[in-house]
Structure 1
Amino acid sequence: MIMTASRIVATFVLFGTIWLFAADRVIDLLVDDTWAIPIWRWLKGFTSIALSAVLIYWLVRRAERMQQKLELETARQRDRLAHMLDVSPAVIYALKPSEHNGPWIVDFVSHKIEQVSGYPVDYWLGHPRLWRDLIHPDDLQRVLEDQERFKTQGWLHHEYRLRHADGHYCWLDDHMVMMRDEEGQPVGVIGAWLDVSNRHRDGERIRHLANYDALTGLPNRNLLHERARHVLAHAAQQRMSAVVLHVNIDHFSAINETLGHEAGDQLLREMAQRLTHTLRPQDTVSRMGADNFIILLPGACARDAAQICLRLMTGVAEPLAVADQELRLTASIGVAEFPEDGPNLAALSQAAESAVHHAKREGRNTVRFFSRDVHEQVRETLTLTRELRWAVEREQLVLHYQPQVDARTQQLVGVEALVRWQHPEHGLLSPARFIGLAEQAGLIQDIGTWVLREALRQLASWRDQGLPVVPVAVNLSAAQFAHPGLVELLRQMLQQFHLPPEWLELELTESVAMQNSDNTIAVMASLKRLGVKLSIDDFGTGYSSLSYLRRFAIDKLKIDRSFVVGLSHDAQDEAIITGVINLARSLGLHILAEGVETPAQQAVLCRHGCDVLQGYLFGRPMAAEHIAQLLAHPPVAAIAA
């Protein structure tokens, strides 16, 4: 407006000056009549007034239009700024100094403050101390110290918690800058708040996931290691003990497979609560995965651990309702003590794990303390199990064959295929060393399939060499026999090697045959239709029902070696064998005796009518090329061991 007024005055003065001199000069040049000159000058005055009025009107109207345009643009800019403040996630504020050096007063704040704090704009403008009163007590001292630094450095960026009107606290990211005049004196503050509560919540969630098990809410391996580091360091400094427990829920995998994973998860959550409630506040229960829990007991010794383990086992054994069923669980616990059994958590956990494996081997539902001898056995077992997974792929498994001879003529009438593991470090390992491991590790199906395929391949090889082939007997594991694809697998293998099915004899132990006798009858019937031979191995050691035995589609009974050993001096063993042979005769079955090692045993078995003999007296298990020699040069006399 100042510039507009100056322009109007300057224009008027310029126009008036020009008119004053120019008009008089024009009149003097054009008017000769002296009496007419006053009249023209009078007209000049009126004309000057009229032209001045028109000029002033034009100048004022032009200034008004410029002012209106400026006001309109200012209003447009103000609306744009207001809209930007409304859509901005940040709260924009301005502070001004108060009188008498009191707290700075809120001079302006955007409407976003209502969403962030729950208080309206007018409330903030009318309460200078509101901001300070709402800061979290734990953050207030730090914030005030930051404010003191702000007075000298002129800028500040920090985070703190502010209480919302509804009572909860939100995290604010606060940026502020000091405004100063030409002399450097503070005249105001411009700042921005940003609600970063979600970021802090996400950070807390990430930290929780990094340190706690998602299923049970228990500390995980990371947090356990951190706590153990402090506990064991303190124990070492104070010459105190500490205990690490490894708790494993017995038969959890079977429950998980039977009732489903949801039931298994519910069970684990319940077990986590029971274990936690049984222990002291300073103890740590952590889940290591599946049904394995590691417990850290600061300041405890072996004697304390024994009592604690009893309480834990009692808590686990309480009835538990899962999937509309009431379960009663048991747990196996391994105990390791610091510092005797290890200097750190890794060593103590390994020792406790070794102890819990010992507890499981001794029947479960028990507590075992770490023993270095037992640990070495467990370590060797775990190593063998790990290496066994590669044995088939690396072609470390081999088959040996033990001769089966006719009891009367001693002619070779069959062989039994027995798997061996040619271990690169331990040499040739018998099945007793690794078959149990294979069953526990779930490898028995793969190994059993390999044995079947290799035995049939070897039969085909002997046939292709022109040798008089005899049937080969192969033991079936419980897992193989229960597999629904067994019959089809055998059919494909026999077709692959172009072998008649009667050249293959499958052996089932008495216990496997009786696990599900109705299913056994159905599977045996399918195998018989395929044409393979079937036998019951280790007969007499189980609890088979004679009624079921009559219904089994089998061809042969194999007398267990435990009855053969005492034949020469134990009348009861001879009576049992006589009964078994008579039973087989009545059922139309052949009879084979295993473990024949002496001529005396051979004589008794022949006298009672045993059909086939097998044992060291006729030959140990041997490589395929040695069997080829026996096939090439019949009849077989007693083969040297």
Structure 2
Amino acid sequence: MTAKDPLPSDRLFDVYQSLFDYNPDAGYALDMEGNFVLVNDSAVKLVGYSRKELLSMSFVSILPENQIDHTLQYFKSALNGNQERFYTAIQTKNKQYKELCVIVLPIFNKSEITGVIGIAKDITEIKKTRLELIKSRSQMESIFNSVDICLWSFDLGMKRLLNISPACLKIFGLSQEEFIKNPVLWKEFIHPEDMDMVSRKQTELYEGTSLEYEYRIIHQEGTVKWVSERTIPMRDHTGQIVRFEGLVIDITQRKMAENHLHHMAYHDTLTGLPNRRMLSERIESSLAKAQLKKEKVVFMYLDLDHFKFINDSLGHDLGDELLQVIAGRVKGCLRKQDTLSRQGGDEFAIILDDIDLKEAYEIADMCLSVISKPVLLRDQEFLLTASIGISLFPDHGQTAEHLIKRADQAMYQAKGNGRNNFKLYKEEMETDLTRRVLIGQSFHRALTNHEFSLHYQPIVNVEERRIIGFEALIRWQHPSLGFIPPSEFIELSEETGMILHIGAWVLQTACRQIKELELKGYSDLYVSVNVSARQFEEASFVKQLMDLLQENRLNPSQLKIEITESTAMTNVLDIIHKMNELRSIGVEISIDDFGTGYSSLSYLKSFHIHTLKIDQSFIADILLDSNQEAIVKAITAMAASLGIKTVAEGVEHLDQLIFLYSIGCTQMQGYFFSKPLPFAQAEKLLASGKDLFKDFPV
């Protein structure tokens, strides 16, 4: 062994050599200048250089620049006889950055330091994992301390909170310190009405059940809050529950929103009374209870007399105020347990539980009395009356449907008896069926005797400030039954098949009368005719139209066909085919009452329709209901994007007109402009040149 060789030469060398060579960590020896003189396989694998390459290199050559001074410091210390442990980094042959934990020792040869020997452990992945854990823990702590959720952990053995997040202060009004000092302090803030329920849940928790439930608390400041709690029992390896992990969320805003939505869904927006939906649930509940307890239930149907006249003549705003006053008066006549519901328009329903007829009559009398008292609004005095129909459970029916129907029949009997009175249902009131049969038997005679007539409601273009067409509406004046509304006979005529004959008469009459207007100089008008599903489905329908146009020498643009959404969706392929035929001859198609049916928007383009008629149900409350407003805006925008015109039906107020015009809907019809008129009056309206837009500022 030469003097320059730093390694010892005694018999232990072989043992040391073996420990060095097979060490899983990088082993190396350096001379006094820092050159590698010995490396093991692990070192070769770590740095990526071959053994030959390494033995021709200095350790400094594999150090990143920022590690050189730091590492040299420990190398020199080892050359001074010290054992050092430190952290550094190297750069491998393929430019990878490796973090190392290094131990270096001086090499003695006959008491003379001739170099250093070292072991370097690759801690790159360990350090990376540690940093990720630190980062993750930091993130978790940040979340724990910042979220509005109260997170907590309770140790059952020690009977103490292990931790609780700062959100406890916001939710309960108590600090972390207060909760840690007294872990059951939260129970003092549970709403008294929810205490029993929470206690039951706690029992389930200790039995090992995971919980998720909602309850109310009283905040430190006195406000009532809703919270949602989720708690999980944690078990040890033996299955014993050792702690609870839970969270508490403030759901007050959500509950308020839910309550608001529930109230909107079950209450009338104008009067705040229960609506049809709630009435349906209430009456089912009342009947079930009455059946169980053998009690009586009285159902009343109340309708204000001639209220439509007030709406039409004085406006719906005033009418709405009157309805609010009347609703308040009627409610004051009822007992606490009774239900008063607004059914729509001027109709109200009343449920009286566990009551006899004598007391029910007294309540009906009180209702009529308070309704008939003068109402002073806007310096005007109004006198109203009402008609009330009464049905009794179980005498007049076992189901809600029967009771409602029979109270309605009794109410119409009260109206027929002079109004301002009430009637109890009697079996002889079952005249509806007789009337229905009579109507069904009268269709043929009505056509022969000219009992049908058409009324025309103007359709206007607000932008052009003129009438552009009319919608033809059928009317029936029966010789014995009097006026029969379309809602009463159209459906029956469809059932009997007479709709084909009646519909043909409507088309013939409308074409003839629009031709009469053309001959009198009104050549730029069209007539829009409602066509039933059965008519439209007829194979000869398009040919019938072509014959009518030719017979009356009408331009196809003078006739528009209206079909409902449900008609459009009955047989889509056939409907599309017929619409294409109509389009080819120049007859335009309108979808009536759009938005109330179930048509797919994807079919609108396929149908090649020209006009969407926005149903009056959306227009009525458009200025009061943001949902209705949004629907109308959406329909108008969608139609515009598809190149489809829109006509708003049921426009009755100037404010509605202004709003519709502002969103781009320029074609409208409704009582604001004119009610449906007999043909002669419609002609007079045109001849008079009456300004239907005198109140419209644009």
Aligned match for 2:425, one of 367, 370, 381: 370
1:274 partnered with 2:313: no
Structure 2 residue aligned with 1:95: 154
The one-character-per-residue Cα deviations of 1:153-179 (angstroms, maximum 9, x if unpaired) are 274444333332232333333333445
**How far, CA to CA, are the matches of 1:316 and 1:189 in structure 2?**
62
**How far, CA to CA, are the matches of 1:204 and 1:106 in structure 2?**
34
Q: CA deviation at 1:457?
A: 6.7
Q: Which has the higher contact order (CA 8 A, sep 6+)?
A: 1
For the residue of structure 1 that corresponds to 2:483, the secondary structure is: helix
Q: CA deviation at 1:207?
A: 4.1
1:429-440 to 2 correspondence within 5 Å? 431-438=478-485
Structure 2 residue aligned with 1:426: none
- The count of corresponding residues between Structure 1 and Structure 2 is 407
1:206-221 to 2 correspondence within 5 Å? 206-221=261-276
1:574-593 to 2 correspondence within 5 Å? none
| TM-score between both structures, scaled by the size of structure 2 | 0.47
Structure 2 residue aligned with 1:293: 348
1:56 partnered with 2:83: yes
**How far, CA to CA, are the matches of 1:132 and 1:253 in structure 2?**
57
CA gap of 1:362–1:153, structure 2 versus 1, over 3 A, is closer
Aligned partners of 1:113 and 1:121 also within 8 Å: yes
CA gap of 1:59–1:155, structure 2 versus 1, over 3 A, is same
**Amino acid in structure 2 at the alignment position of 1:437:** I
**How far, CA to CA, are the matches of 1:154 and 1:22 in structure 2?**
72
Greater strand share, structure number? 2
CA gap of 1:296–1:80, structure 2 versus 1, over 3 A, is closer
**Amino acid in structure 1 at the alignment position of 2:143:** M
Structure 2 residue aligned with 1:131: 186
CA gap of 1:383–1:309, structure 2 versus 1, over 3 A, is farther
The one-character-per-residue Cα deviations of 1:343-389 (angstroms, maximum 9, x if unpaired) are 3332222222112112222332222332333x23344446767999x
**How far, CA to CA, are the matches of 2:399 and 2:349 in structure 1?**
14
Structure 1 residue aligned with 2:536: none
Aligned partners of 1:96 and 1:105 also within 8 Å: yes
Q: CA deviation at 1:399?
A: 3.8
CA gap of 1:380–1:210, structure 2 versus 1, over 3 A, is farther
Structure 2 residue aligned with 1:329: 384
1:235-384 to 2 correspondence within 5 Å? 235=290, 240-322=295-377, 325-373=380-428, 375-381=429-435
Q: CA deviation at 1:270?
A: 2.1
The sequence identity of aligned pairs, in percent, is 27
**How far, CA to CA, are the matches of 2:167 and 2:247 in structure 1?**
11
Aligned partners of 1:334 and 1:370 also within 8 Å: yes
Aligned partners of 1:252 and 1:291 also within 8 Å: yes
Aligned partners of 1:155 and 1:176 also within 8 Å: yes
For the residue of structure 2 that corresponds to 1:436, the secondary structure is: strand
Q: CA deviation at 1:98?
A: 6.7
CA gap of 1:150–1:319, structure 2 versus 1, over 3 A, is same
**How far, CA to CA, are the matches of 2:242 and 2:487 in structure 1?**
80
**How far, CA to CA, are the matches of 2:162 and 2:349 in structure 1?**
59
Structure 1 residue aligned with 2:664: none
**How far, CA to CA, are the matches of 2:165 and 2:373 in structure 1?**
61
1:482-493 to 2 correspondence within 5 Å? none
CA gap of 1:186–1:378, structure 2 versus 1, over 3 A, is closer
Aligned partners of 2:151 and 2:247 also within 8 Å: yes
Aligned partners of 2:157 and 2:242 also within 8 Å: no
Q: CA deviation at 1:330?
A: 0.9
**How far, CA to CA, are the matches of 1:275 and 1:529 in structure 2?**
46
Q: Which region of structure 1 is more displaced relative to structure 2, 182-191 or 192-201? A: 182-191
Structure 2 residue aligned with 1:407: none
CA gap of 1:68–1:144, structure 2 versus 1, over 3 A, is same
Aligned partners of 1:337 and 1:348 also within 8 Å: yes
For the residue of structure 1 that corresponds to 2:447, the secondary structure is: strand
**How far, CA to CA, are the matches of 2:102 and 2:331 in structure 1?**
82
**How far, CA to CA, are the matches of 1:19 and 1:212 in structure 2?**
98
Structure 2 residue aligned with 1:621: none
RMSD: 5.3
Aligned match for 2:451, one of 400, 406, 419: 419
Q: CA deviation at 1:249?
A: 0.6
Give unmatched runs, 5+ long, in structure 2: 14-74, 89-99, 104-122, 454-475, 491-501, 528-548, 554-676, 688-698
**Amino acid in structure 2 at the alignment position of 1:433:** S
For the residue of structure 2 that corresponds to 1:167, the secondary structure is: coil
| TM-score between both structures, scaled by the size of structure 1 | 0.51
**Amino acid in structure 1 at the alignment position of 2:303:** N
Aligned partners of 1:301 and 1:337 also within 8 Å: no
**Amino acid in structure 2 at the alignment position of 1:419:** E
CA gap of 1:64–1:196, structure 2 versus 1, over 3 A, is farther
For the residue of structure 2 that corresponds to 1:213, the secondary structure is: coil
The one-character-per-residue Cα deviations of 1:296-324 (angstroms, maximum 9, x if unpaired) are 22344443333322211111122224455
Greater helix share, structure number? 1
